[in-house]
Structure formats: C-alpha cells, structure tokens
Structure 1
Amino acid sequence: MGWQWKEQHLDLILVPLGFFIMCIYHAFLLYRYLTCRELTAIGYENHNKKAWVEKMLLLDSKDRGFAVAVLNGHLSASTSLSSISLVLCSLIGALLGNSNNFLTSSFILGDTSRSTSTIKYISILSCFLLAFACFVQTTRHFVHGSFLISMPTGDVPVECIQKAVLRGSNFWAVGLRALYFATTLLLWIFGPIPMFVGSVATVMILYFLDINKEPMIVYGNSTNGDHHGGRILKKIEQGFTSVVHEVFEHNGRQ
C-alpha cells in the first residue's frame, strides 16, 4: 500500500514550520541587535536607560526617590508577570495530569491523540517556566539596581548600575518573548492550522514593533553640565558679592 494522507500529518508539517519561523525571526532580531542595535527597539530603549542612569546619578542621594520609584514600577510589573506565569504553569500541570482530554472534539483538524496532547502541554509548560525564570531574574537585577542607585555615599560606579538595569531589561525582553511563544503554542491546542497562522501573524506584528526608525537621542555630557552649572553659580556669587559690597560702601558714606 502506498502512502496515504491523514489529518495527523498536519501536525508534523505546520507545527515545526511555525516554530521554525518564530525561531528564525528571533535569531535575526538577535543578530540585528548585536550588529546594528540602533535599528532595534530594544537597543533604542537600552540607550535611553543608560542615559537615564547617568542623569539620575547627577542628583544627590536624598533626591533619588523618583529613580527608585521608577525601578519599583518595573519591579511590580515583573512580579505580576512572574506570578501569572507560575499560575498558568500550575494550571497546565493540572490539565496534564488529568486523564480526561476535553479537547478531542471533532472540530479540531489534526492529531488528537493522547501523546500529541501531552507534547502540547509540555511545550506550553516549558515556555511559561522560562518566562517565570526570566521575570524572577528581572526582579533580582532591578532590586540590585535600586540598592545601588540609592547608595548614600554615591561611590558606586555608573557602569555597575547601568549593568544591573540593562540586565533586568534584557531578562524582561526574553520573558516577553517566551510568552509570545507560549501564546502560539496555546493555539496548537485548537489544531496545527491556528498555530501556524498565529506564528506568522506574531512574526509580522513583532517585526513592526521591534524595528526602530527614530535616531538615537544624543544626550548632553555630564561634565559640560557641571561646567555650565558652575558658571551659573559663579555668576550668582559674584552678583551677591557686588550687592553686599555696595551696601557696605553706602553705609560707610552715611
């Protein structure tokens, strides 16, 4: 007997193809970030965050409450997403342990066997676990950055704080990518065709979101700002001295 086409073969073709498209796009995004990071949204945001850390360190330690509040906002977001990922992992684990497969109805075009369903749930569970781990690391680095940026003495090098903030941002980006992969794999529960269509649509949307057409913002040098502030203070001091001198002269004449 010759080879016969079956609905189960859709999973063997469309699912690896959709997953391959997602992987190829993110490999291209990583290469573009490493070579021309100014053309990516991630590189543009990291550039602004590095400048933000430099500007915040120009303030006194007692005036950096706004910077700590900004980092606490990122901490709240990463904590919420890590909690959501962990809850979804528990839910998928419960579905995986349930012997009753409630998605084997006839409207699913593809393989509905028990082994394929197990592979689906394990793949989704892996993506959510990766997202949870990345968001936990995001929280860790932002907490460390909050400690460093609120140091009273101000002896912490700016590179250390920038490294902590950028690492937290990079783990945040990886965690979001893991959620994107989990979303497309969730569509696989309803069949290989929705999964493939979702992968193509996700790549098209992410391409327009990840590209950066804005030029990099050129921030002023901190040393120039110090010289400018010093000139202003010097002018104020000279004006105050001249006023005091005139007052003393006027009192002496009287």
Structure 2
Amino acid sequence: MEWRKYYLDMTLVPLGFFITFGYYVWLWHKTRTDPSCTTIGINAHGRRLWVPAMLKDIEKKNILVAQSLRNLIMGSTLMATTSILLSAGLAAVISSTYSVKKPLDDVIYGAHSEFMIALKYVTLLTTFLFSFFCHTLSIRFLNQLAILTCTPQDAMSLVTPEYLVEIFERGITLNTVGNRIFYSALPLLLWIVGPVLVFLCYIAMLPMFYNLDFVSGSGKTKIEVNGKKDYV
C-alpha cells in the first residue's frame, strides 16, 4: 500500500477519534473530581437519593417506579434495536457482491480501494455491535432493579438500598456508554464519502457534547450521603 493513497484516512479519522476520546477522559475526570459541574455527576447524585426515597413509601410510589424504569428500558430497547438493525444492514452490504465503491470513486477524498471500503464497513459494524452490547446489558440491570425494588426491606434481607443504587448506576452507566458509542459511529458513516468529513463532524460534535455535559453557574456545596461525599 502506498502511503500517499492512505494518508488522509490514516491521519484524520484516528485524530478525530482520539480528540473525542480525550474529551471523554476529561469529562470522566471532571465528573469524579467536581461532579457539580457536569450533568452526569448531578444526575448520579439525584439517582442515589431517588432510590431510598422510593423505598420509604413503595406502596404508594410503586406505579411511579414502574413507569420510570419502563421509560428507561424502552429507551435502551430502542437504541439496541436501532444498533442491531444497522449492524445487520452493514453485514449485508459487506457480504454483497455489488461493488459499492464504484459510484463514489470520483467524488470522495482519501483511499477508496477494496481494502479501505471493507475497513470502513467493518469499523462501523463493530461500533454498532458494541453499542448493542451495552444497551442489552443496561436492559438487564434495569429489569433486575424493577423486580428487586418491590422486595421486602427487613434486617435479614440481602437486597439493601445500597445494592439497588449500585444496580441502578450500572444500568444508567451502560445506557450512557452505549449512547456515546452510537453517537461516535455517526461521523464514521461519513467515512464512506471521505475522511475529511469524519474529522469535521467529530470536531463539530464537541461543542454540542460540552453544552450537554457541563452545567454553568452551579454551586459547590459538599455534603455526605451514605458515607460518601458529593457536591451539590
């Protein structure tokens, strides 16, 4: 393979991916060190308070719990279904004998050999499969939470509020990871046209994610909940 045919694909696409990955590493660090400035940290704090509040009066709030968990499960199911349908479509394209690169030879930048076309579709297929995997695990944990929430809370019970909070956090975390993996696949769809659009799309998505993930003007009051210190 000649480098001059592949340098755009081998530089712009990984560069855009690592810039986005670096943003997520920074987001994770900010969420761990100062959760009051991120929506993820604030929402996690609210969920840790929501579970004990529902358990205190579960007989009156069981419908609210069921509806809330049902909405979360429906959202994860929708994303899992979309991911597996796109994976099936990409698998069909990869296995097809039709050469999808010929109509695009004159309009795309970067390499458009048979190897590069196969690499593009396999990368997309793998990304959507990972998103499907995360969403299915999220559904599993949320279904467990829906069942265990209504178990009797007594001194001998192994199902404690802390255990339910942990299950809830795992389900939501997997849902969030699955969504972000799915979003990262959207710029890769433009790789079919060329690597330049992939890089520009990754860069354009960063301000949007920043506005969604960070909260401005929030206070920083440290409190202690269940033996853990949080910022609110």
Task: Give the alignment's Cα RMSD to 1 decimal.
Answer: 2.2
Q: Which has the larger radius of gyration?
A: 1
Cα distance in 2 for residues equivalent to 1:194 and 1:134: 27
**2:54/2:61 contact within 8 Å kept:** no
Q: What's the offset of the Cα at 1:197?
A: 0.3
Of 158, 163, 187, the match for 2:161: 158
Shift in Å at residue 70 of structure 1? 0.7
Give distance in 1, aligned partners of 2:66 and 2:15: 44
TM-score, normalization by structure 2: 0.86
SS at match of 2:126: helix
Of 205, 211, 231, the match for 1:202: 205
Q: In 2, are the aligned partners of 1:139 and 1:168 still within 8 Å (CA)?
A: yes
| Aligned residue type for 1:148 | L
Give the counterpart letter for 2:123 in structure 1.
S
Aligned equivalents of 1:108, 1:181: Cα separation in 2? 21
CA distance in 1, matches of 2:186, 2:109: 19
Find out whether 1:183 has 2:181 as its counterpart: no
1:58 aligns with 2:61: no
| CA-CA distance at 1:9 after TM superposition | 2.3
Tell me the equivalent position of 2:29.
Answer: 31
Cα deviation, residue 183, structure 1: 0.7
Which residue pairs with 2:142 in the alignment? 142
Query: TM (normalized to structure 1)?
Result: 0.79
Say if 2:66 and 2:146, in contact at 8 Å, map to a contact too.
Answer: yes
Alignment of 1:75-94 (within 5 A): 75-94=73-92
Q: Is the contact made by 1:61 and 1:154 (CA closer than 8 Å) also made in structure 2?
A: no
What is the alpha-carbon distance in structure 2 between the residues aligned to residue 11 and residue 107 of structure 1?
Answer: 15
Change (3 A) 1:55 1:215: farther
- For 1:18, the equivalent position in structure 2 comes to 16
Q: How many residues align structurally?
A: 216
Find the counterpart in structure 1 of residue 230 from structure 2: none
8 Å Cα contact 2:84-2:128 kept in structure 1:
yes
Distance 1:54 1:60 in 2: 10
Question: Are the aligned partners of 1:39 and 1:212 in contact in 2 as well (CA < 8 Å)?
Answer: yes
Q: Which amino acid aligns with 2:200?
A: V
Q: What corresponds to 1:49 in structure 2?
A: 47
Q: Look up the match of 1:107.
A: 107
The percentage of aligned residue pairs carrying the same residue is: 29
SS in structure 1 of the partner of residue 57 of structure 2 = coil
- Matching residue's letter, 1:25: Y
Q: How far 1:194 moved relative to its partner? A: 0.5
Query: In structure 1, what is the Cα distance between the partners aligned to 2:5 and 2:25?
Result: 31
- Rounded Cα–Cα distance in structure 1 between residues aligned with 2:210 and 2:61: 39
